[in-house]
Amino acid sequence: MVKLMSMSILTHARRLGIGYVLPILVLTTGCAYRFTNTAIRSPLGIQTLAVEAVWDNSRDVIPHELLWSSMQREVIRNGRVTLTNQSEADALMVVSITKAKVSPVGTSTPTDANSKDPPESTADKATPDQYRNLRRAGNYTTDEGITMNVHVNVYDLKSRALLFNRDYATGITFKSNRGESVTPVASAYLQYEEALQARFRAASDSLAHSIVNDFLM
Q: Report pLDDT for 209.
A: 97
Query: pTM of the entire structure?
Result: 0.64
Superfamily of domain 42-106+141-215: Lipoprotein like domain (3.30.160.150)
In a 3-state reduction of DSSP, which class is residue 60? coil
| Cα separation, 5 vs 159, whole angstroms | 63
| Helix 65-78, helix 188-215: angle, nearest 10 | 40
Domain ranges in the chain? 1-33, 42-106+141-215
Closest CA relative to residue 167, chosen from 148, 150, 147: 150
Q: b/e map of 112-142 (b: 16 or more CB within 10 Å)?
A: eeeeeeeeeeeeeeeeeeeeeeeebeeeeee
Closest CA relative to residue 175, chosen from 164, 186, 183: 183
| Cα separation, 66 vs 189, whole angstroms | 20
Q: pLDDT tens digit string along 140-184?
A: 677 888 899 999 999 999 999 999 999 999 998 888 765 554 456
User: Could you tell me which residues are beta bridge partners of residue 45?
Assistant: none
Q: pLDDT tens digit string along 74-128?
A: 999 999 999 999 999 999 999 999 999 888 887 666 554 445 555 666 667 776 6
Mean per-residue pLDDT over the chain, rounded: 76
